[in-house]
Amino acid sequence: MSVEVYKLFIPKDEECIEIIRKIRWGNGYICPYCGSRDVILKGKEGYKSYIQRYRCNSCKRHFNDLTGTIFYTFIYKSNWS
Protein backbone atom coordinates (compact mmCIF):
# COMPACT_ATOMS: atom_id res chain seq x y z
CA MET A 1 0.00 0.00 0.00
CA SER A 2 1.46 3.34 -0.99
CA VAL A 3 1.67 6.26 1.38
CA GLU A 4 -0.89 8.18 -0.69
CA VAL A 5 -3.52 5.46 -0.47
CA TYR A 6 -2.83 4.91 3.21
CA LYS A 7 -3.42 8.60 3.90
CA LEU A 8 -6.99 8.33 2.63
CA PHE A 9 -7.83 6.18 5.62
CA ILE A 10 -6.45 8.53 8.23
CA PRO A 11 -9.29 10.63 9.62
CA LYS A 12 -8.91 14.36 9.95
CA ASP A 13 -8.47 15.98 13.37
CA GLU A 14 -12.03 17.28 13.29
CA GLU A 15 -13.44 13.82 12.68
CA CYS A 16 -11.32 12.35 15.46
CA ILE A 17 -12.57 14.94 17.90
CA GLU A 18 -16.17 14.19 16.98
CA ILE A 19 -15.65 10.52 17.76
CA ILE A 20 -13.69 11.17 20.95
CA ARG A 21 -16.38 13.57 22.14
CA LYS A 22 -19.16 11.04 21.56
CA ILE A 23 -17.29 8.31 23.41
CA ARG A 24 -16.00 10.47 26.22
CA TRP A 25 -19.07 12.58 26.97
CA GLY A 26 -21.73 10.05 26.02
CA ASN A 27 -22.94 9.94 29.63
CA GLY A 28 -22.46 13.66 30.27
CA TYR A 29 -19.48 15.88 30.99
CA ILE A 30 -17.17 14.78 33.78
CA CYS A 31 -14.20 16.73 35.14
CA PRO A 32 -11.00 14.71 34.50
CA TYR A 33 -9.41 16.20 37.62
CA CYS A 34 -11.99 15.71 40.35
CA GLY A 35 -14.73 13.63 38.68
CA SER A 36 -17.42 16.25 39.20
CA ARG A 37 -20.33 16.50 36.79
CA ASP A 38 -20.73 20.20 37.54
CA VAL A 39 -19.10 21.25 34.26
CA ILE A 40 -19.86 24.19 32.00
CA LEU A 41 -18.87 24.90 28.39
CA LYS A 42 -16.24 27.60 28.00
CA GLY A 43 -16.06 28.14 24.23
CA LYS A 44 -13.57 26.71 21.77
CA GLU A 45 -9.81 26.46 21.78
CA GLY A 46 -8.41 29.42 19.83
CA TYR A 47 -5.79 27.44 17.92
CA LYS A 48 -7.98 24.36 17.34
CA SER A 49 -11.45 25.78 16.96
CA TYR A 50 -13.15 22.38 16.78
CA ILE A 51 -11.97 21.48 20.29
CA GLN A 52 -14.48 22.36 23.01
CA ARG A 53 -13.22 23.87 26.25
CA TYR A 54 -14.84 23.24 29.63
CA ARG A 55 -14.62 24.52 33.17
CA CYS A 56 -15.33 22.53 36.30
CA ASN A 57 -17.39 24.39 38.87
CA SER A 58 -16.14 22.14 41.67
CA CYS A 59 -12.35 22.43 41.34
CA LYS A 60 -12.38 25.50 39.02
CA ARG A 61 -9.98 23.89 36.58
CA HIS A 62 -10.22 24.13 32.81
CA PHE A 63 -9.96 21.21 30.41
CA ASN A 64 -10.94 20.32 26.85
CA ASP A 65 -12.09 17.35 24.79
CA LEU A 66 -8.62 15.85 24.83
CA THR A 67 -7.37 16.57 28.33
CA GLY A 68 -6.23 13.36 29.97
CA THR A 69 -6.49 11.25 26.80
CA ILE A 70 -3.68 9.83 24.69
CA PHE A 71 -5.06 11.91 21.81
CA TYR A 72 -3.95 15.05 23.56
CA THR A 73 -0.34 14.25 22.70
CA PHE A 74 -1.16 13.31 19.11
CA ILE A 75 -3.06 16.47 18.29
CA TYR A 76 -0.86 18.92 20.11
CA LYS A 77 2.56 17.45 19.39
CA SER A 78 2.13 16.30 15.81
CA ASN A 79 0.91 17.61 12.51
CA TRP A 80 -1.43 15.08 10.94
CA SER A 81 -2.41 16.93 7.79
Residue 36 binds to Zn ion (criterion: CB under 5 A): yes
Contact segment (CB under 5 A) with Zn ion among 3-11, 13-21, 50-58, 64-72 equals 50-58
* Cα angle 48-80-19, degrees, rounded to a multiple of 5: 65
Whole-number minimum distance, CB 29 to Zn ion, in Å?
A: 10
32, 23, 26: which is closest to 54 by C-alpha? 32
Q: Which is nearer to Zn ion, 58 or 73 (CB)?
A: 58
Contacts of residue 55, Cβ cutoff 8 Å, sequence gap at least 6: 39, 40, 42, 61, 62, 63
Residue 58 binds to Zn ion (criterion: CB under 5 A): yes
- Which spans of this chain sit near Zn ion (rule: CB under 5 A)? 31, 33-34, 36, 56, 58-59
